[in-house]
Structure 1
């Protein structure tokens, strides 16, 4: 029997699932400015471009624009939709045109956070211990910009729990700088935070229990796409459906990006250091129909 040519041999060794990768490998991923969204979008851009030959465009748009553009086919996928509550209003007008796929992160969090060494566990306990959380001369909760959803919820929490603390609003960077300083010195401090967030990988933290449910229930993060994406690229659909991250992995990715100050280099370094996990995501076989 004649030997196969090197080209034919190479083709013979390609897994069957590879033939189900989209022939048109240009892909537009819709992003927004959330830290975890930028982190995972850049991670997938690197993996798909450098290892599978895709041409990935990251399109950073507002939420309203993202859903409209995806419904019109101008954006192919986006890595993050919070359900069943947070993003449902954005999804609802386009439910017939978009596809929500499998979850990749379970148990989002939102609320008031303290270092684990702080000896209270609930929001109501802040009332009796308010003086311990003094910031710049007054009992305070450190938050992010006043126009954010979490800032509004914190104003509600102060009112409903009748907390003798005021909310001090600033940028996320300024809030975390103040938190880091207090943490290093094991001082009491309370901040508004959410998970996933890189801080949970860097510090030992805890949410204060919210018995009135001001900050809502935990949600789940899914990826989603234009309605016909799965038929156009069944391989990538299965890969993303098998992708899962938790506080350690996602927080670690965001922490590296935060440390390096560059989402591309941070994501690349994280990939190199977590190759086994990444290879598990990519090792899928898709049956042709």
Structure 2
């Protein structure tokens, strides 16, 4: 291009465009694939696909290995088999995060944005059958428990917990609080919410693990059970709480949702690392995107691509 016939201002602008470094010119720093973990619930996989799609726009190669939620923190990310994971809930992964931090081989990249809440939840139509709710002590009444029972658990109530990989200590909670309930673990996240939808449509009894951020608390009218508030001592010291011989006699913790990376990401892919560190998403946005997948039947890839196309200015700023 010959710039001598252009005005001084135009020539300066063109020269600056060639001389000013940009994230897009610098990336990718390595052609090796960045491996972003997929887990067994919708929102985390949406965040993974959005993050991966943005990195692909910047020229990176991205892979999406399926991983175990908790062990990925202490094995996959520590040894570099995984590069990045987008959601570790302080509510359920707190202990694994402490163990991961202690290795010195991972890095907490900060909060994703939404606050995590996970607890026992029931539809509003069940309250007339157990009028003491949401107080957890209502569940100790055999009549209340029977109202939540199914043929496989009667006379005990049935509590549908998350997949066993999520932990959550529901089996221990039932014992320590003396609840006449049987814990049944869902095989998958999708199966758990399919069962909720079926029960809700039939006004059938159901008590299950509901978490937020998620579209379910907005779609279905109901309440979380109010257990004794969580404290660290409740989980670690049996002498704490109403049952002085057992731990977990309280509700689940609330807290942040964190992003984690393999420690080597910062040096190997510094622009991608910057994007991951700056990545944030709003609770309502994440709930709506999850609903597009679980309720509208869209693929996570299509939903992620739609968000990326509509929010170019946002994700470009993450790389600056």
What whole-Å deviation, never above 9, does each CA across 1:206-248 have from its counterpart, x for those lacking one?
3211216334321322222233433444443343333223442
- Contact kept? 2:36, 2:65, Cα under 8 Å: yes
SS in structure 1 at match of 2:305: helix
Give the alignment's TM-score, normalised by structure 1: 0.77
Pair 1:25–1:219, CA change in 2 (3 A): farther
* Structure 2 residues without counterparts, runs of 5 or longer: 128-132, 231-249
* Structure 1 residues without counterparts, runs of 5 or longer: none
Picking from 45, 49, 69, the partner of 1:38 is 45
Pair 1:67–1:114, CA change in 2 (3 A): same
| Aligned residue number for residue 87 of structure 1 | 96
User: Over aligned residues, Cα RMSD in angstroms?
Assistant: 3.5
Picking from 147, 152, 161, the partner of 1:143 is 161
| Aligned residue number for residue 199 of structure 2 | 182
Pair 1:181–1:71, CA change in 2 (3 A): closer
What whole-Å deviation, never above 9, does each CA across 1:1-48 have from its counterpart, x for those lacking one?
33489xx68954987444454433544224142313322112222232
Pair 1:111–1:99, CA change in 2 (3 A): same
Q: Displacement, 1:107?
A: 2.5
- Contact kept? 2:160, 2:192, Cα under 8 Å: yes
Q: Which residues in structure 2 correspond to 1:162-241 (within 5 Å)?
A: 162-172=178-188, 173-211=190-228, 213=230, 214-241=250-277
2:175 pairs with 1:159: yes
Pair 1:212–1:163, CA change in 2 (3 A): farther
| Aligned residue number for residue 123 of structure 1 | 136
Whose Rg is larger?
A: 2
Over 6 Å off, 4+ runs: none
Q: Displacement, 1:191?
A: 0.7
- Measure the CA separation in 2 of the matches of 1:33 and 1:65: 10
- Contact kept? 1:70, 1:226, Cα under 8 Å: yes
Give the alignment's TM-score, normalised by structure 2: 0.70
SS in structure 1 at match of 2:64: strand
